[in-house]
Structure 1
Amino acid sequence: MSPPSSQKSLAFLRSIIVIRLINAFWVTTFFQPDEFFQSLEPAWDLAFGANSGAWLTWEWHHQLRSSIHPAIFSVAYIVADYASSILPVSTAVRDSIIVGAPRALQAVIAALGDWYTWQLASDIYPDSNVSSFALFLQLFSAWQWYCSIRTFSNSLETTLTIAALYYFPWRELLGVASTTKDNPKPAGSIMRDPWSLRVSLALAALAVILRPTNLLIWATIGGLALTRIGLHGPSPLTQPSVWVLFREAVLCGSLVLAISLASDRLYFGFWTFPPYNWLTFNISKSLAVFYGRNPWHYYLLQGLPLLSTTSLPFVLMGLWRPAAVTPEQANVLHTLSLAVCVTTAALSLISHKEVRFIYPLLPILNVLAAPLTASFFTSIPPSSDASSPSPPRIRNKPYLYLALSVNVLLAGYLSFFHQPAPLSVLSYLRNQYTALNPIPNSNNDDLFALFLTPCHSTPWRSHLIHPHLNAYALTCEPPLHTKPNTPERDNYRDEADRFYDDPVSFLADELFNPNATGLPLPRYIVGFEGVQPWLEDFFGRTGRERGMDGVALTPVWMAFNGLFNEDWRRAGKMVVWETGHRDQADDVRAATS
């Protein structure tokens, strides 16, 4: 079976983009703060300037992240801002356009990842039914639905990785050298036309710049291409082609490195190299464990099952014994399988683990599982006409319907019901601000909202939008000033920890202490419902002693936030309380009315 035609491929791509755009705007829940603070906040800063109110976390102040990722989304912000400014739309519509622009761009990136997964499977497997199942596994993956449209660097890394794998010249570098006249190989084709290799290496280098751990995948593939350990047949590589491979790797890597250095120079204002900074900083500071420790088997018992969900049995079988027919196919599949195993094993040695760290492996897992899934759920009836074979028949329908139902229900719950409040609360505050300030007042320094939640529980300027909407949230900066394995490091408590350790004392002695340049009284206080008794205690007793008379907390907004939460501090509904505070905007309106 020949690879899909260009016309069919583009038609598939358009359809997948539509699916992911629907996906992007159906997912209305909060997952993990890096979606916003490691991409959209610096992108906002790039697009709208240093006075735009973006929240840049400590990693950006220590140049630990590449600016390429947020630079991509800054373009989306600039285009959305310009388009909304020339359209006759209300402020609320303009805000929605700007908020949605990065999601729309990420939907296209996610669609490309799905499309390249299907393209790679079409190149590997001669059976179009198998390659269709690779795409089917991508589109009906609950994890892919939940995460592919989120602006994580891991999401972009995943698309870059599968695209680089598609353009990688597998036959020339991992094929079987043929000495027969009946089936001659295109020896030295990468020497005559190295563009496919160049695109692959450039995309791989960009993925490594974004996430240095991506190097594990390419070190495995490159090592097998050169050593041929465990592969079938003699190597088709000649000494000249090895030199071409080395030369192109250096050239493509140098080009991407130059782009990265120039981007970081423009963003940070001086020459720096974030991947090196990230490596040395983590070695010297040992800060990874500050964000949690996980057992060595986390990726085996939790990571891979969460990535694969109902396709896990086929994934495990594909990893253990790839369904290869020809020696060339076996070389490609064994290489992909080993890349998964090496990456998973290496990342298991790191204390802090998250499922999204192995997210770039998901398309590979779906390619490996595709032939086994196709053979289990379909059968090809015999046909006497070789030119028009009979379409495959569905079998094992109960299992198929059960798997689809599990993924649809899981994706539906995560998309609509698990932590929707952190996004919807910002829409409420933004709408309240625009209603109270139809003409934003740059001289208004009043505190509009105070977030008494675990740090980074909500997005920030990417959803607050307005630079003069002043807000404050509890922080959780790591103990950069301490040394590893010292009492000072072990006993360190960040601002959010100190609040939950003793809420009333923290509010009195730190947050609203007039002798320590404390905060002014905000118009709104945002928190989960468990903090209400502490707020009532503070404003009813201690706050009155501090001159905060007349504060009567009134719940003005409340939203369901899921059936469960792994963090007890985020349990229950999210609530907005109005304090009764009148800001300068009220005074101006009262004076002019």
Structure 2
Amino acid sequence: MSWLILPFIVRPIIGVLTQGFFQPDEYFQSLEPAHRAVFGYGHLTWEWVAQPPIRSIAYPAIWMPLYSALQWAGLDNGALLVLAPKLLSGLLASLTDFFGWKFARKLYGPRVANVWLLLSLTSIFHVLALSRTFSNSLETTLTVASLYHWPLVDGLYVHHDLTTALFLAALSCLIRPTSAIIWTILGGELLIRTVTKGQSVVPILSKVAIVGTLFSLIQSGLDTTYYGNPTFTPLNFLRVNLSSVSSFYGVNQWHYYFTQALPILCTTSLPFVVHGGWLVKMLPGEIGRGSRTLFNLCRWVITAYSFMSHKEWRFIHPLLPIFHLFAALSLASL
């Protein structure tokens, strides 16, 4: 357990030491709109000024209290305006390691969990992207936190809390609408499994309806307040990104995620990811079934993203903790 202190030291340090940018979105879809909302100036890209707008203020709203606190304290000078978001994003990134370790321990025990933590902390792609202010980075954190609470496996001694999982999943979708792909797949599997066991799906659907309605109202309220007129950006976001507009930013081959993104995300752990994916096919019982659900989740999410013309490595960043889970299972078995 003492090893879990490391992420809360390592990730903020990485965040502070990170220089330059990976892609412009880490500023123009997060810090810049937040800065403009608090200080009254800052550049807004076309997504924010289009009619209708396609970007939600939900993610920039995370940084707005930070800027407001600095302004109130009279500390809104250049150095702290740069440093404070780096520290916050580093702390948020550390929660990926925290919940990922707990998730790995829940499924496979402490040995695999410790290997998972080592893989996560030494991941080159995590070093590159996780502590940055990308919405994908927070989506990664929220995804693994929700997976820890998600009823992936059944058992008397296995912790799960569907309500908490749904709240975290909904927050992930609030931050990034395409996260719904992950939760649609997992939700469908949960419903099928529930029906197969002869149980009612009404309690599950009721919770989904309540949480979904609540977060839809929150989304609409935030965006309507920010834009000054009734606005629900997820629909606008999906409509534009599924159109030819997204192709302006680059078009990739259908195999991009398999031949480029996976090797770049996993780097040297890729052979162990493949071996671990093969091992889960043979795991018995509920753990085996849950592990195969994760394997199928990765397969279907990548397939779904492969149908989109515009592709980026970071779009499947939320799957990296699962890839590390397979790699840890492989390494622990050697």
TM-score interval for Structure 1 and Structure 2 normalised by the shorter chain: over 0.9
Deviations 1:141-187, CA, capped at 9 Å, x for gaps: 00001101110110011111111111112234xx6xxxxxxxxx58x
Q: Is the 8 A contact 2:282 2:288 kept in 1?
A: yes
Pairing partner for 2:204 from 237, 241, 245? 245
Distance 2:249 2:229 in 1: 29
Corresponding residue of 1:199 = 164
Pairing partner for 1:133 from 87, 100, 115? 115
Relative to structure 1, is the Cα distance of residues 324 and 208 closer, same or farther in structure 2, using a 3 angstrom cutoff?
A: farther
Distance 1:237 1:152 in 2: 42
**Alpha-carbon deviation of 1:98?**
1.2
Corresponding residue of 1:77 = 67
**Alpha-carbon deviation of 1:360?**
0.6
- Is 1:156 equivalent to 2:138 in the alignment? yes
Distance 1:247 1:142 in 2: 41
Distance 2:153 2:197 in 1: 8
Relative to structure 1, is the Cα distance of residues 169 and 289 closer, same or farther in structure 2, using a 3 angstrom cutoff?
A: same
**Alpha-carbon deviation of 1:100?**
1.1
- Is 1:265 equivalent to 2:247 in the alignment? no
- Is 1:355 equivalent to 2:316 in the alignment? no
- Is 1:39 equivalent to 2:4 in the alignment? no
Relative to structure 1, is the Cα distance of residues 237 and 360 closer, same or farther in structure 2, using a 3 angstrom cutoff?
A: farther
Residues 54-69 of structure 1 mapped to structure 2, 5 A cutoff: 54-62=42-50, 63-69=53-59
Distance 1:211 1:21 in 2: 23
Deviations 1:401-454, CA, capped at 9 Å, x for gaps: xxxxxxxxxxxxxxxxxxxxxxxxxxxxxxxxxxxxxxxxxxxxxxxxxxxxxx
Structure 1 unmatched runs, 5+: 1-7, 86-90, 176-184, 377-593
Relative to structure 1, is the Cα distance of residues 83 and 343 closer, same or farther in structure 2, using a 3 angstrom cutoff?
A: same
Deviations 1:342-386, CA, capped at 9 Å, x for gaps: 01011111111100011110011111221102223xxxxxxxxxx
Q: Is the 8 A contact 1:293 1:351 kept in 2?
A: yes
**Alpha-carbon deviation of 1:225?**
1.8
- Is 1:346 equivalent to 2:301 in the alignment? no
Deviations 1:306-337, CA, capped at 9 Å, x for gaps: 00000001112223441764411011111111
Structure 2 unmatched runs, 5+: none
Relative to structure 1, is the Cα distance of residues 213 and 150 closer, same or farther in structure 2, using a 3 angstrom cutoff?
A: same
Q: Is the 8 A contact 1:261 1:272 kept in 2?
A: yes
Deviations 1:514-568, CA, capped at 9 Å, x for gaps: xxxxxxxxxxxxxxxxxxxxxxxxxxxxxxxxxxxxxxxxxxxxxxxxxxxxxxx
Distance 1:277 1:346 in 2: 19
**Alpha-carbon deviation of 1:237?**
5.8
Corresponding residue of 1:99 = 82
Pairing partner for 1:308 from 255, 260, 266? 266
Deviations 1:80-137, CA, capped at 9 Å, x for gaps: 333453xxxxx9xx311111111111111100011111010010013x1111011111
Distance 1:320 1:65 in 2: 40
**Alpha-carbon deviation of 1:271?**
1.5
Counting matched residue pairs gives 332
Relative to structure 1, is the Cα distance of residues 312 and 237 closer, same or farther in structure 2, using a 3 angstrom cutoff?
A: farther
**Alpha-carbon deviation of 1:255?**
1.4
Which protein has the bigger helix share?
A: 2
Corresponding residue of 2:215 = 256
Distance 1:217 1:318 in 2: 21
The normalised TM-score by structure 1 is 0.53
Residues 518-557 of structure 1 mapped to structure 2, 5 A cutoff: none
Counterpart residue type for residue 179 of structure 2: N
Distance 1:337 1:282 in 2: 27
**RMSD between aligned alpha carbons?**
2.2
Pairing partner for 2:13 from 7, 11, 22? 22
Q: Is the 8 A contact 1:220 1:338 kept in 2?
A: no
Which of 1 and 2 has greater Rg?
A: 1
Pairing partner for 2:101 from 107, 118, 143? 118
Distance 2:151 2:68 in 1: 37
Q: Is the 8 A contact 2:224 2:232 kept in 1?
A: no
**Partner SS for 1:287:** helix
Distance 1:370 1:143 in 2: 17
Corresponding residue of 2:125 = 143
Distance 1:17 1:202 in 2: 24
Distance 2:327 2:56 in 1: 33
The normalised TM-score by structure 2 is 0.93
Corresponding residue of 2:251 = 293
**Alpha-carbon deviation of 1:216?**
1.8
Residues 268-279 of structure 1 mapped to structure 2, 5 A cutoff: 268-279=227-238
Distance 1:134 1:66 in 2: 34
Q: Percent same amino acid among aligned pairs?
A: 40
